[in-house]
Amino acid sequence: MLNIDKEKNGKDIAVTLSGRIDTTTAPQLNSIEETLEGNENVVVNLKDIEYISSAGLRFFLKMEKKLRAGSGSQVLTNVSDEVMEIFEISGFADILTIE
């Protein structure tokens, strides 16, 4: 199960995710992308994400490309050690902005 909470304030979008991001739940993330024009600053709080699969990694890469192309940005925050390990092993820690 994946819960998504979005809050938009002008060009800033705060997204809080909780649960698991896997093949079954990753399509729900498209609701975030659908609200983007490409020039927003998106902060994604991953504090309560227990697991992320390659489907989740693909989504964050797609968001990164879309936002960069439109002069926006994406920052992932509060990443757990387990999820950070997945970002590091996959090489995504070097591509994405993680705080």
How many other β-carbons are positioned within 10 Å of the β-carbon of residue 56? 24
Name every residue whose Cβ is closer than 8 Å to that of residue 97 and which is 6 or more positions away in sequence.
73, 74, 75, 76
What is the arithmetic mean of pLDDT over 33-62? 92
Question: In the chain, which ranges are continuous DSSP H helix?
Answer: 30-33, 54-69, 81-90
- Please indicate whether residue 35 or residue 19 has the higher confidence score (pLDDT): 19
* Ranges of each domain in the chain: 2-98
Q: Which residues pair with 5 in a beta bridge?
A: 16
pLDDT at 13 over 80: yes
For residue 85, which amino acid is it?
Answer: E
CA angle 58, 32, 22 (to 5 degrees): 40
Domain covering 2-98, topology: Transcription Regulator spoIIAA (3.30.750)
pTM, entire model: 0.92
pLDDT at 34 over 90: no
